[in-house]
Chains A and B, each alone.
Chain A
């Protein structure tokens, strides 16, 4: 019974914690402009993140070491440094977007300008990372993120023409250009497979001292929790496709993105969705800030993690503090947090092979994995995804330039 409770709680946490500012923005933008015609990308992204998160969880359980710890050892310091540079840059950009998202949610709740909330959000996030236990922190914000289920309820209550939504799946709008379609497909994939998720998942496995016995829980989180999170992403796109597409309204702010829930569920729904967005983005703020500390500390071989006292992992905590300050300062320059999110998604997409190739290589290496190496199916699917991710990485920046970032 205790085990079942732990598995259920883990699934719910993974479900609630799946959606972050990137998923929210990408799905709302895409739903408003392309209807459900890019739903297939969400499915491809969810399968991809399930595949590689399962591998990274297995790496953590089999070797008791997180992925990035092994990247430098397996690929050498030079390739590891390239990987670190790309991941760290994207992490900081994503962290700025998440802090901006949490502040925007507070603006929607109070009417007070988001810039005034930014220092407070950053300070509270740092205090939580400093004082609260890893498991407590992960559970509270993962479960609170479940409030985003209101997107699915809101979609239901809006009473969409389900036949039309289904028709959109195979029929993109004719007035949108092909390059723009593929640009948003790439952004959506970048949102579903954000690199920090894998680093956080495997480092979290080590923080929680996973062993081979915990593989069942890890797989349940990944194979049930993440697809449920993907379902939420589709609900966000469905809401936007139902409300905005018929009037050709393009959304570019968080306030506009939650409007369908308000229209479907009224003030209670609006309060819940704003709470859910705050929980999801604040939770992701913690994850991205910690991931920055994890990757840098693991590359340089410093003591890291929340499972040791801060004094013992002082450089790790210093990195977390500094990146939180830098990201908050970036948002305080008044750069639009939604634009930062859009760029972070495309840069994430461009760096996807750098993140996922080492995961595939290490999970295939019997020296690290013992009898937990990849099976044929995982390898075949992993290889197909690597080809896809390389194509995506090559196309991401040229498409961003050609479409003027999707305009």
Chain B
């Protein structure tokens, strides 16, 4: 068996300050990763619009995959996927809506993006209501509409990379 470990060095005040600051710095780091920053100019606003369109298109595509093969999935599962997508689209709308557009051109882009994301949210909410009642009425039509929405959102994403 080993002898007991020798006593460690006496901590210096600087080291103690560092030890106290580390958890605060870690917390700040975690919070900083989740912050939404304001748009500084048109370019910055365009980038935020592109990211919003990308996130919305991703949610729309996920719903489209589930709706297209809805007969292979269980109702509670479909309900959960649609509820999550509806929540995601609402959150994307709220976050982008909270960013101040810096110019008239940015205003037009804002209208274009929020129109599409709101349409997507309404479409998914409509599908959710159908699933909660008797199941999807027109899955093919929903697939087509979601495909068109995803395509238009991708165009905005491509234009504002």
Task: State the A residues within 8 Å of B (CB).
Answer: 73-79, 107-111, 243-244, 247-253, 255-256, 259, 262-263, 266-267, 270-271, 274, 343, 367, 397, 400-401, 404-405, 407
Contact = CB atoms under 8 A, between A and B. Distances in A.
A262 B69 contact: yes
A343 B30 contact: yes
A267 B74 contact: yes
A255 B57 contact: no
Query: Nearest 4 A-B pairs (CB), nearest first?
Result: A76-B5, A111-B76, A249-B61, A405-B33
Interface of A is mostly: helix
B66 interface: yes
A262 B77 contact: yes
A273 B77 CA distance: 12
B80 A76 contact: no
B88 to A, nearest CB: 8
A270 B77 contact: yes
B84 A259 contact: no
A110 B61 contact: no
B76 A110 contact: yes
Given A247-B61, A249-B58, A249-B65, A77 B5 contact: yes
Nearest to B6: A76
A401 B29 contact: yes
Contacts of B65: 243, 247, 249, 259, 263
Nearest to A404: B33
Given A76-B6, A267-B74, A251 B62 contact: yes
A76 B76 contact: no
A359 B108 CA distance: 60
B8 interface: yes
Contact of A74 (B2, B62, B69): B2
A270 B6 contact: no
B73 A267 contact: yes
Nearest to A401: B29
Contacts of A74: 2
Given A108-B80, A266-B72, A405-B34, A259 B62 contact: yes
Contact of B57 (A79, A248, A267): A248
Contacts of B154: 248
Contacts of A244: 62
A401 B32 contact: yes
B2 A400 contact: no
A250 B58 contact: yes
B47 interface: no
A361 to B, nearest CB: 12
A401 B33 contact: yes
Interface centre among B61, B69, B74 (most CB of A within 10 A): B74
B105 interface: no
Interface in B52-106: 54-55, 57-59, 61-62, 64-66, 69, 72-77, 79-81, 84, 88
B1 interface: yes
Interface in B115-142: none
Contact of B80 (A111, A243, A251): A111
Nearest to B32: A401
Contacts of A405: 33-34
B2 A256 contact: no
Given A79-B8, A259-B62, 14 more contacts: A73-B2, A75-B5, A76-B8, A111-B75, A111-B76, A247-B61, A248-B57, A249-B61, A249-B62, A256-B84, A270-B72, A343-B30, A367-B1, A405-B34
B158 to A, nearest CB: 10
Contact of A108 (B51, B57, B59, B77): B77
Given A107-B80, A247-B65, A262 B2 contact: no
Contacts of B150: 247
26 contacts: A73-B2, A74-B2, A76-B5, A76-B6, A108-B76, A108-B77, A110-B76, A111-B79, A244-B62, A248-B57, A248-B61, A249-B65, A251-B62, A259-B62, A259-B81, A262-B72, A263-B69, A263-B72, A270-B74, A343-B30, A367-B2, A400-B33, A401-B32, A404-B33, A405-B34, A407-B51
Interface centre among B54, B55, B59, B62 (most CB of A within 10 A): B62
A133 to B, nearest CB: 32
A249 B68 CA distance: 15
B144 to A, nearest CB: 15
B49 to A, nearest CB: 15
B89 to A, nearest CB: 13
A266 B142 CA distance: 20
Contacts of A111: 75-76, 79-80
Nearest to B82: A255
A386 to B, nearest CB: 21
